Structure 1
Amino acid sequence: MNKPTLAALSLAPLLGASQTLVQAASIASLTLVLVILHRACMTPLRARLTGIAGECASLLIAAALVTCANLALLAWALPLHQTLGIYPELIAVQCLLFEYSLGRTAGWRPALTVLVGFAALHIALGACRELLASGVRLAGLMPGALLLLGLVLALINLARNRRAASRREGNP
């Protein structure tokens, strides 16, 4: 499985739980915390567990962390849990995706860079959807989230292309 496929698998929480800024910030912060805890728990185990044993341990740790977070939301933030729906449970998939895509050799810096970028994208998408949903009903629905995500990614690609063109011309 390649990295674009892994990124596509992480779209469900991104698009589904970003109807408002509060939902987007909540799911982004939950993802940050749980993925970092998962990496921290798996770091000492990677040297000892290889193959299927390491994958099973990763799966069990991700499921345990997400279950604890889900129970905490039920106990202390029931309205937030109800608005987030099933998307907090899908963070276990995010934990496994990060573990698989970064592998055994990657340190904390690549993981944090990807996580912070993902959280920023999540919050930006939530803010845009909340602002636009008051006037454009489509922005609050799932197709609107796909359209807004496409627009954000197009803007990112445009900025990258401009920066690359200015470097080729000799400007820093």
Structure 2
Amino acid sequence: MNRQWLAAISLAPVLGATQTLLQASTMALLSLLAVGLHRLCMTPLRKQLDADARLFASVLLAALLVTCLELGLRAWALPLALELGRYPALIAIQCLLFELALGDNARWRTAATTLAAFAALCMAVGFTRQLLSEFAHLRLAGMLPGALILLGLILALYNRVCQRRALSRRQGTL
């Protein structure tokens, strides 16, 4: 499993729970906390458990962490928790995917880079959706199809800016 799988699975919370910048920043913060704590707690367990027990412990730990974060969100910010709906529960899948993708190796830099990119994407989508829906009065931007369109535009912009030239050996000979 690689970063592309992590990005694909992480799209549901990004698209569904980023109608405003506040929702986006909350989802980013919850993701950073849950995945970071999950990696930290799983580090000593990886050496002591076999593969099946490690997977079971990872699932239980992810469910525990996300449930605690969700209950904390409901206790201190109930209106925000109700706006986010069930999307914070999907963070448990991200924890499991990070565990499976990064595995036994303690690649903290890779995990931190991927989490930072996810948080930046959440914030960018949330900010842009709120800006378009409130100031430009584009109601579609606040809905899920608008998020898909916006994400496609962000991806196209990224591909345009970070466009790499093909290697000369791939271009063929004349």
**In the alignment, does 2:162 pair up with 1:160?**
yes
Aligned CA distance change for structure 1 residues 101 and 30 (closer, same or farther; 3 Å): same
Percent of pairs with identical residues: 58
CA distance in 1, matches of 2:50, 2:14: 31
Q: Deviations over 1:43-96 (max 9, x none)?
A: 111111121110000000000001111111121111111111101111101101
What is the aligned residue count? 164
Corresponding position of 1:33: 33
Corresponding position of 1:70: 70
CA distance in 1, matches of 2:120, 2:90: 19
CA distance in 2, matches of 1:45, 1:37: 13
**In the alignment, does 2:32 pair up with 1:46?**
no
Corresponding position of 2:139: 137
Q: Name the aligned partner's letter for residue 59 of structure 1.
A: V
4+ residue stretches of structure 1 with deviation over 6 A?
A: none
CA distance in 2, matches of 1:42, 1:51: 12
Gaps of 5+ in 2: 169-174
Please, what is the CA RMSD of the aligned residues?
1.5
CA distance in 2, matches of 1:160, 1:50: 41
Superposed, 1:2-21 pairs within 5 Å as: 3-21=3-21
CA distance in 2, matches of 1:32, 1:123: 13
Q: Deviations over 1:105-152 (max 9, x none)?
A: 142100000000110010000000001113111111101101111111
CA distance in 2, matches of 1:34, 1:4: 20
CA distance in 2, matches of 1:8, 1:19: 19
> Normalising to structure 2: TM-score of the pair?
0.89
3-state DSSP of counterpart to 1:128: helix
CA distance in 1, matches of 2:53, 2:42: 12
